[in-house]
Amino acid sequence: MSTPHLFALTPGEPAGIGPDLCLLLAREAQPHPLVAVASRDLLAQRAALLGLDIDLQDVAPGHWPSAAAPAGTLYVWDTPLAAPVEPGKLNQANATYVLETLTRAGQGCLDGHFAGMITAPVHKGVINEAGIAFSGHTEFLADLTHTAQVVMMLATRGLRVALVTTHLPLRQIADAITANRLERVTRILHADLRDKFGLANPRILVCGLNPHAGEGGHLGHEEIDVIEPTLERLRTEGMQLIGPLPADTLFTPKHLEHCDAVLAMYHDQGLPVLKYKGFGAAVNVTLGLPIIRTSVDHGTALDLAGTGRIDSGSLQVALETAYQMAEAGTGAR
């Protein structure tokens, strides 16, 4: 393995399972030093509630760890809460705390202190109820890093799926798939597979929008008018882009065997397959940022906070993916 990299871990919503996940992961040694950007008091209280004996060691800018923590130890960059936390009970007062952890971690990546950041789930609703406009990690980090265009990609072992459109109503999707948008997303996906995943010439399978990829125009013209011409133009630059293919047959072993990523046209075209294959062991990767950012593929699970009845599989995969990305290339471009 190469020289250890330092990573930031944000626990997300303090009343959710994020703090629990951080503590559970600390039971095992990690290959790289990992810093939880969180309230030390919160982690100590949650550890006591869960009956976990975790040694919380304070670190801060200028005093970063140079080696991975041993099993049972978690490095913490203490970030004070605004109000006490009760597991499962949202409190608007702590919205500023959540955003401060993200800002510290993101800025730390930009400043070169961290090789990447791994995020546990936040609760968008309570942040908005606190009077703060917030639509999610992705948009927040894009703004923090002054990034105009980002791409959502979910991955599990053996499959990566990126999205041309994300959280749009179905009736708006066809209009949103323009040649300009498709080209931007494809370029970002290709560049990050190369630069952050170490794939010299990634092979990308592209879904059509319509059933049977439009069936020669009988089931829609988006493939003929937008998707095919855009892909053909990008192929002249040497990109390996296969498609547009019918989505109902693309996700089969025959096609996926030699595939590095799938580009789906919309959220529920590609993600149901990925989550069926890797539910509980999938990771959300934000492509296009000048930093490495990975995240779990689930929510805050308020009802499970402090119970110990949780699975840390998704966060472990998010960690492993961030490690692989840092080792394959660099988070700063």
In this structure, are 30 and 63 located in the same domain? Answer: yes
Burial of residue 313 (number of CB atoms within 10 Å: 0-12, 13-18, 19+): middle
Q: Tens of pLDDT along 11-37?
A: 999 999 999 999 999 999 999 999 999
- Residue 215, domain extent: 151-275
Q: How far apart are CA 242 and CA 29, in angstroms?
A: 41
In this structure, are 199 and 67 located in the same domain? Answer: no
**Helix (H) or strand (E) segment spanning residue 118:** strand 116-119
The DSSP secondary-structure symbol of 213 reads: G
pLDDT computed for residue 332 by the predictor: 38
In this structure, are 269 and 142 located in the same domain? Answer: no
Q: Is 167 annotated as a binding residue?
A: yes
pLDDT computed for residue 2 by the predictor: 53
**Helix (H) or strand (E) segment spanning residue 264:** strand 261-264
In this structure, are 32 and 140 located in the same domain? Answer: yes
Q: Tens of pLDDT along 212-225?
A: 999 999 999 999 99
Q: Tens of pLDDT along 127-137?
A: 999 999 998 89
Position 250 in a domain = yes
Q: Is 258 annotated as a binding residue?
A: no
CA distances from residue 152 to 9, 45, 75, 138, 214 in whole angstroms, order as listed: 19, 34, 29, 8, 25
Per-residue pLDDT band for 283 (boundaries 50, 70, 90) equals: very high
- What's the CATH code of the domain at 53? 3.40.718.10
pLDDT computed for residue 138 by the predictor: 87
pLDDT at 329 over 80: no
pLDDT at 333 over 90: no
**Residue 129: CB atoms within 10 Å:** 12
Per-residue pLDDT band for 140 (boundaries 50, 70, 90) equals: very high
pLDDT at 210 over 70: yes
Per-residue pLDDT band for 3 (boundaries 50, 70, 90) equals: low
Q: How far apart are CA 257 and CA 268, in angstroms?
A: 22
Q: Is 284 annotated as a binding residue?
A: yes
Position 281 in a domain = no
Longest CA–CA span in the chain (Å) reads 64
Q: Is 201 annotated as a binding residue?
A: no
pLDDT computed for residue 228 by the predictor: 98
Is pTM, for the whole model, over 0.85? yes
What mean pLDDT value characterizes the chain?
A: 94
Q: How far apart are CA 208 and CA 221, in angstroms?
A: 10
Burial of residue 199 (number of CB atoms within 10 Å: 0-12, 13-18, 19+): middle
Which tokens go with 300?
Answer: 């805050």
Q: Is 190 annotated as a binding residue?
A: no
Give the residue-averaged pLDDT of 100-119. Answer: 97
| CA–CA–CA angle 79, 80, 81 (5° rounding) | 120
Backbone angles phi, psi at 199, to 5 degrees: -100, 110
In this structure, are 135 and 49 located in the same domain? Answer: yes
pLDDT at 196 over 70: yes
Position 280 in a domain = no
Q: Tens of pLDDT along 164-183?
A: 999 899 999 999 999 999 99
Position 170 in a domain = yes
**With contact defined as beta carbons under 8 Å apart, do 267 and 167 qualify?**
yes
Where does a domain end: 227, 244, 275?
Answer: 275
In this structure, are 54 and 126 located in the same domain? Answer: yes
Position 27 in a domain = yes
Q: How far apart are CA 114 and CA 116, in angstroms?
A: 5
Q: Is 275 annotated as a binding residue?
A: yes
Q: How many domains does the chain have?
A: 2
pLDDT at 263 over 60: yes
Of 260, 112, 290, give the one whose Cα is nearest residue 200.
Answer: 260
Give the residue-averaged pLDDT of 215-241. Answer: 97
In this structure, are 197 and 225 located in the same domain? Answer: yes
**With contact defined as beta carbons under 8 Å apart, do 14 and 123 qualify?**
no
pLDDT computed for residue 331 by the predictor: 39
Q: Is 138 annotated as a binding residue?
A: yes
Q: Tens of pLDDT along 296-326?
A: 988 999 999 999 999 888 999 999 999 999 9
| CA–CA–CA angle 286, 69, 192 (5° rounding) | 20
The DSSP secondary-structure symbol of 227 reads: I
pLDDT computed for residue 1 by the predictor: 42
In this structure, are 171 and 138 located in the same domain? Answer: no
Q: How far apart are CA 213 and CA 198, in angstroms?
A: 30
In this structure, are 211 and 132 located in the same domain? Answer: no
Q: Is 212 annotated as a binding residue?
A: yes
Position 126 in a domain = yes
In this structure, are 171 and 270 located in the same domain? Answer: yes
In this structure, are 142 and 12 located in the same domain? Answer: yes
Position 283 in a domain = no
Angle between helices 179-195 and 228-235 (to 10 degrees): 40
Position 284 in a domain = no
pLDDT computed for residue 297 by the predictor: 86
CA distances from residue 39 to 22, 35, 175, 187, 271 in whole angstroms, order as listed: 12, 12, 44, 39, 33
In this structure, are 188 and 91 located in the same domain? Answer: no
